[in-house]
């Protein structure tokens, strides 16, 4: 993965962990939608925002879509940090 894209993705992950109040506000605004687990719903919102950053930064910086290899690298980063993201959201959303 291009170092600039990696930096943007890691920054978005850090933002998701450090600024859970935004995700909490999004979750609250969608509280009328029936879901079984609101923490997992919030986690999905955060992962969606991180994926959007990956996709957008790849297009902006590299002027193309990510390759399968770059996407696999993105998934590895999520796998490594996913628990940390989920925990941060679970704590704030109690």
Convert the pLDDT of each residue in 48-85 to its tens digit. 999 999 999 999 999 999 999 999 999 999 999 999 99
pLDDT at 93: 62
Give the pTM.
0.88
Contacts made by residues 40-48, CB under 8 angstroms, sequence distance 24+? 42/89, 42/93, 43/85, 43/86, 43/89, 46/16, 46/20, 46/85, 46/89, 47/78, 47/82, 47/85
The pLDDT of residue 70 is 97
């Amino acid at each position: 993965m291009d170092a600039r894209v990696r930096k943007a993705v890691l920054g978005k992950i850090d933002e998701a962990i450090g600024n859970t109040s935004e995700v909490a506000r999004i979750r609250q605004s969608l509280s009328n939608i029936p879901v079984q687990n609101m923490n997992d719903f919030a986690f999905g919102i955060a992962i969606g925002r991180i994926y959007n950053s990956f996709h957008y930064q790849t297009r902006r910086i590299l002027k193309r879509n990510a390759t399968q290899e770059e996407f696999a690298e993105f998934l590895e980063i999520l796998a490594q940090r996913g628990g940390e993201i989920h925990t941060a959201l679970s704590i704030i959303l109690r």
